[in-house]
Amino acid sequence: MMQFLAVQPSSQNQFRALMLFGRNVASYKFALAKALLEVARDGADLVSLEKLADPYTRHLRTHLTLASKQGTSRSSRFLEACKGANAGTVTDDELRSITVSLGFNNVIDAFHRLGAHDVGQRFFLDERAAAGGIRITNELRHLAHGPAAADLGSETEARWRLVETAWELGVTRSLITYNDETQAFTAADSSRRITVTSARAALNGYQKGYCFYCFTPVTIEPGQLAADVDHVFPWALRLLLTGNPNGVWNLVLACRGCNRGANGKFDCVPALDLVARLHRRNEFLITSHHPLRETLMAQTGAAPALRAAFLQDNYRATKLARITEWNAVSRNDEAF
């Protein structure tokens, strides 16, 4: 996680790191992140816990309809109150009171924590003791109104969906797969397959909102800058590859120019420095305790050296078939 922030430790990348690299025992941090972006967009300064409770519980209640397990503990009075509100047995006023009393106890203290330390940037100041709420910082306000705001919200949602699905289904390495037609990650239980989340939203944060190849800014929102999901080792050479070519280990986000422009990669073999970059990105996913961590390790190796060797072997196999390789012209400084 420190390597992730060693390059471009901007406010938005520190916010991303909090969502991507924290160990999750409950989904409260995701709900608080979405609520913070919401109240900051409204121009809030000092936000009382009563006011913060409404968007915070709204996001949690929505997710409880998607997955009833929103944490690893056996019971939670706060989550039971959210479920009761969904069932109509707990009123809005009652839920707000319970949330102020129980719902923020740990998440406000832990929100800025990454590993053993806090990130350098504060997105709010804890003024519960003095003023009964939190104070939104200018950095969060700029994020909430900035061009990356929609992507940050979508990335948080994608991470949340992967985590809760892993808890709900007890997902193992064989259960989460990529659907090339829908460009989404899917999961299976004993009787059905369900769409978990957009692959774009799940992968974008680890690339910090840039094309994997040329570092042009991309977005996961519709429009001209919308990213494509691309196979680094091309699908056309899939029979030569070790491992599932549709595995997350081989999937990145690319700008349209690199993926399908006149000088794009198409089905070319990636250059060695791109293979090294792919290894770094995969290590980000693994060290972030991503729900696809086990999938990556099963497909590419249990240790970093084995995972690097796995990619090198695929590079050699595809290079023998195609001889030539492709590299991108960087449009910006390297972001990861």
3 state DSSP class of 255: coil
**Helices 49-64 and 77-87, interaxial angle, to 10°?**
70
pLDDT of 36-89, one tens digit each? 999 999 988 999 999 999 999 999 999 999 999 999 888 899 999 999 999 999
pLDDT tens, N- to C-terminus, the chain (336 residues): 678 999 999 999 999 999 999 777 899 999 999 999 999 999 889 999 999 999 999 999 999 999 999 998 888 999 999 999 999 999 999 999 999 999 999 999 999 999 889 999 999 999 999 999 999 999 999 999 999 999 999 999 999 998 998 888 776 545 577 888 888 988 766 556 677 788 899 999 999 999 999 999 999 988 877 899 999 999 999 999 998 898 899 999 999 999 998 899 999 999 999 999 999 999 999 988 777 788 789 889 999 999 999 999 999 999 999 988 999 999 999 999
Among 135, 141, 112, CA closest to 47:
135
Locate the domains of the chain by residue range. Answer: 2-145, 150-326
Among 110, 119, 115, CA closest to 14:
119
Token pair for 265: 């990669």
Task: Report how far residue 198's alpha carbon sits from residue 287's, in angstroms, rounded to the nearest whole number.
Answer: 21
Q: Can you tell me which residue has the tokens 């009382």?
A: 48
The pLDDT, as a whole number, for residue 192 is 64
Task: Report how far residue 96's alpha carbon sits from residue 103's, in angstroms, rounded to the nearest whole number.
Answer: 9
Burial grade of 268 (CB within 10 A; 0-12, 13-18, 19 or more): middle
Can you say how many angstroms the Cα of residue 305 is from the centroid of all Cα atoms in its chain?
25
DSSP state of 132: S
Element containing residue 326 per DSSP (H, E)? strand 325-326
CA dist 158 → 109, 163, 286, 321, 322 (Å): 23, 9, 16, 37, 36
Task: Report how far residue 333's alpha carbon sits from residue 216's, in angstroms, rounded to the nearest whole number.
Answer: 9
The pLDDT, as a whole number, for residue 172 is 56
Phi, psi of 202 (to 5 degrees): -70, -30
The neighbouring-strand residues paired with 194 are 187
